[in-house]
Amino acid sequence: MAIVRILSGYALAVIIATALGSAFHTQMIIKGLTDAGALIAPDTRLAMTGNDFVGLAPQFGVVIAIALGIGFLIAAVLRRALKPLAPVAFPLAGAAAIAVALSIMHVAFDGITPIAGARTSLGFALECVAGAVGGLVFSMFAGGKRR
């Protein structure tokens, strides 16, 4: 039964981190457009957010799934050794996993981050927040009680 709880928690964490990461990406792009003088209506913002999720989810979702999977495995091992950090192990792992994934993509694409919303410090930080929220979700649903 624990494996079902872990896999369900992982799937939910990936879905939520992908949705948040996509939404943050879109809002950072919209911020850039409005900073340049564009007027974007709230309904257009919402439509852009939904369209970006549909477009980003397949590829960015896979990147997030791989990153969180690796991060959560590492956190599961380290939280036993670093007991004071155990309550925040998965959120920290989620944030770190996204930071590493974005950094790897930056290097792999010759200095260009393919997630345009993460090209600024704020955008990068927001993507890491998406990973941290994914880690929190995983911890709540799959972490179980540790002694």
Q: Which of 68, 58, 50, 44 has the alpha carbon at shortest distance from 127?
A: 68
- Answer yes or no: is 127 within a domain: yes
Q: Which of 60, 79, 74 has the alpha carbon at shortest distance from 21?
A: 60
- Answer yes or no: is 131 within a domain: yes
> DSSP state, 109?
T
pLDDT one-digit tens code per residue, 19-52:
999 999 999 999 999 999 999 999 999 999 999 9
Give the list of residues 6+ apart from residue 139 with CB closer than 8 angstroms, or none: 87, 89, 90, 91
**Percent of the chain residues past pLDDT 90, beyond the cut:** 86
Quote the pTM value: 0.91
Rounded CA gap, 13 and 138, in Å?
5
- Answer yes or no: is 70 within a domain: yes
Q: Please return the burial class of 26, using the count of CB atoms within 10 Å of its CB with bins 0-12, 13-18 and 19+.
A: buried
Determine the structural domain holding residue 49 and report its residue range.
Answer: 2-142
- Answer yes or no: is 29 within a domain: yes
pLDDT one-digit tens code per residue, 69-127:
999 999 999 988 888 888 899 999 999 999 999 999 999 999 998 999 999 999 999 99
- Answer yes or no: is 72 within a domain: yes
Q: What are the counts of helices (DSSP H) followed by strands (DSSP E) for the chain?
A: 4, 0
Question: Which tokens in the block code for residue 46?
Answer: 């919402």
- Answer yes or no: is 147 within a domain: no
- Answer yes or no: is 99 within a domain: yes
- Answer yes or no: is 38 within a domain: yes
147 three-state secondary structure: coil
Q: How many domains does the chain have?
A: 1
